[in-house]
Amino acid sequence: MKELLTPKKLIFRVVSALLVLVAVMLVCSLIGTESISLKAVFNGPGTQTANPDYQIFVEFRLPRIILACLVGAALACSGVVFQALLRNPLADPYILGISSGAGLGAIIAVICGFNWTVWGRSPIAVFAFAGALGTVWLVWFIGRMAGRFHVTGLLLAGVVVNAFFSAVIMFLTSIAKSQQVYSTIFWLMGNMTEEDFLVLWIGSGCVIGGIIALFYISPQLNALSFGEEDARSMGVNIAGTQIIAFAIAAAITAVAVSLSGLIGFVGLLVPHAVRLVFGPDHRQLLPLSGIVGAIFLVIADTLARIIIAPAQLPVGVVTAILGGPFFLVLLVKYSRKVSWLK
């Protein structure tokens, strides 16, 4: 029984991972085009003369790092949930059409030329959020037309809706003016600029609340990994668990997408990496994936800021370049532990 996950072990690992996250956040906030010192930052805003270190830290670096944490955690946890619900190691947060729905929303907003804001959010973000949630609802609706939750039906519905919306996006891109297209494509590649703390706090609240709720149903997700019928015989309320898990995962992904565009790889690789090292138990997989996702995206975003400074890379490029090789190393090292590789 020694090898089993215990509350003590879980708390120790989560707290250790959180400490690593805080350390990474601190280090990453100090480096960039302009290096700043922590000592100067703690001197405060300055009364007579401005304190540039403090300003850079509070106004630019901190919001960006908090945003990266938020998005990384949301995507990683959502990936864990979709992989469990669909019992498919290839599932990621975008598998059921969230990406194309958000993209379609974004491009519609750009083409219509809206210029209002909601809580400081541009129409692109608002439309992307609505597009993402609308698409998930549509896929869920189509997938359930057979009368019950059917993994294959849901995946097929996701693929079809994804393909259809991608075609519509391409059509709209072809008829739009080039400047409009550029801003949409840039947005879709993933960006990490957010100055408004209110939006960040609201986003954080949604994501952290969602992850806590998902943790609460993680034993049920364990059972669901064995299939619906098996999970039912283990006393799991199938319909309730599926709807709650699906809705929360879709909602936190939509929040992430509307804040930062589409960032690939995090939602697919982080859950697998954590599973390879710590095992498939969702009670541990979920919180650790959230924290590791946050660490991963903070580092990736810092690299995106500094690699070709003063210009910036889209963070999605860095996540793929950084994540791919790192994941392969893990795979080679731990592959004997993974049954789906055999």
Binding interface with another protein (CB under 8 A): 1, 3-4, 6-7, 83-84, 87-89, 215-216, 218-220, 222-223, 225-227, 229-230, 232-238, 275, 279-281, 283, 337-340, 342
Among residues 130, 72, 144, 59, the alpha carbon closest in space to that of 101 is found at: 130
DSSP letter string over 151-202?
HHHHHHHHHHHHHHHHHHHHHHHHHS-HHHHHHHHHHHT-------HHHHHH
Give whichever of 222 and 253 is closer to another protein, judged by the CB atom: 222
Q: Interhelix angle for 123-143 vs 178-188, to 10°?
A: 70
Rounded (to 5) percent helix, strand, coil in the chain: 75, 0, 25
Give whichever of 205 and 279 is closer to another protein, judged by the CB atom: 279
For residue 191 the two structure tokens come to 């960006």
Least Å distance, CB 256 to another protein, is 24
* Angle formed at CA 54 by CA 52 and CA 56, multiple of 5 degrees: 65
Rounded to whole angstroms, the Cα distance separating 81 from 2 reads 27
Give whichever of 83 and 100 is closer to another protein, judged by the CB atom: 83
Least Å distance, CB 339 to another protein, is 2
Give whichever of 259 and 286 is closer to another protein, judged by the CB atom: 286
Enumerate residues 6+ apart whose C-beta is below 8 A from 74. Answer: 207, 210, 211, 252, 253, 255, 256, 290, 293
Give whichever of 13 and 176 is closer to another protein, judged by the CB atom: 13
Query: Residue 5 carries which DSSP code?
Result: -
Least Å distance, CB 286 to another protein, is 10
Least Å distance, CB 320 to another protein, is 24
Least Å distance, CB 209 to another protein, is 17
Give whichever of 84 and 318 is closer to another protein, judged by the CB atom: 84
Rounded to whole angstroms, the Cα distance separating 20 from 40 reads 23
Least Å distance, CB 228 to another protein, is 8
Q: Please report where in the chains the tokens 């969230």 appear, as a residue.
A: 98
Enumerate residues 6+ apart whose C-beta is below 8 A from 329. Answer: none
Rounded to whole angstroms, the Cα distance separating 159 from 143 reads 11
For residue 287 the two structure tokens come to 């919180």
Give whichever of 333 and 337 is closer to another protein, judged by the CB atom: 337
Least Å distance, CB 240 to another protein, is 9
Give whichever of 197 and 334 is closer to another protein, judged by the CB atom: 334
Enumerate residues 6+ apart whose C-beta is below 8 A from 156. Answer: 143
Least Å distance, CB 48 to another protein, is 52
Least Å distance, CB 167 to another protein, is 31
Answer whether 106's CB lies under 8 Å from 188's CB. Answer: yes
Give whichever of 183 and 225 is closer to another protein, judged by the CB atom: 225
